[in-house]
Copies of this chain bind each other. A is one copy, B any other.
Amino acid sequence: MNKEQPIGIFDSGLGGLSVYKELKRLLPQEKFVDFGDTARVPYGNKSSEVIRRYAFEIAYFLAQKRIKLLVVACNTASSIALNELENAFRFPVVGVVQSAAMEVGKLEKISRIGIIGTSRTIKSATYQNLIKSRLSHVEILAKPCPLFVPIIEEGLFESRVLDETMDFYLNDMRKRKIEVLILGCTHYPLIEKKIMDYFNEKVKLINPGFSAALRVKTILGENNLLNDTEGYDEFFLSDEQENFQKIARDFLGFDIPEVCIIKENLI
């Protein structure tokens, strides 16, 4: 392993760009290889077995790119497949879920935490178990919110549809005065401000993409693998994505130079 090798990132779709954004901000000297599984998106309502198979296919693909570390940017895949990926590959594997749980575990004087994510992420209870193992006294309110992703992809940031959906999903958490809310899906940072408004600013939001970026920096530093020459990033998708540049801009605030579409089966 040497410091010039790239960092691999994957997500079920384009949501991983919100994680890439945090990594790029914290580690501008690194080279990234980003994979979005747009041909099979979303993972959130699929079985653990199928999610595991997809995660392995992509990890093999990225391993061939000689990555020095893998970031599982998908909350669902992190919840389901992280241990197996760690056991299979020699490079370190960083999951957004595990990183966010570590960050939350360090918070003090917290009594009530909310978690939102896909059905599979919430049902796996990975977030809940990891947090409970660190903060046993804390009360956890976990809620699958499958409508947020399609609403964000429709671009309905300012709409009665989003307002009603937020109220439907988050009303109980607001009433019960959660102090921390984990945005357990890569799309959710795009409605961060709306969520803050909904809670009248009275909640601390955790963006697992940021937690993962911190974790990656620590691991690379400890292993003397931080790069020092700026890199050229690569982007792969398993299918074309309509309005890709527009969506990328929504996520990143800047354009992506070029995207390579891998349409054949991955292995």
**A contact set with B: CB distance below 8 Å:** 38-40, 45-47, 49-50, 53, 119, 123, 146-147, 150-151, 153-154, 156, 159-161, 164-165, 167-168, 239-242, 263, 265
Contact = CB atoms under 8 A, between A and B. Distances in A.
A10 to B, nearest CB: 17
B150 A47 contact: no
Contacts of A165: 161
Contacts of A239: 46-47, 49-50
Contacts of A147: 147, 150-151, 154, 161
Contacts of A150: 146-147, 150
A239 B52 CA distance: 12
Is the contact region of chain A dominated by helix, strand, or loop, or is it mixed? loop
Contact of A240 (B47, B154, B156, B167): B47
Contacts of A40: 39-40
A230 B242 CA distance: 45
Contacts of A123: 242
Given A49-B263, A239-B50, A168 B159 contact: yes
Contact of A265 (B47, B151, B168, B265): B265
Nearest to A39: B50
Contacts of A49: 239-240, 263
B39 A46 contact: yes
A47 B40 CA distance: 11
Name the residue among A38, A45, A119, A242 with the largest chain B CB count within 10 angstroms. A45
A5 B240 CA distance: 38
A151 to B, nearest CB: 7
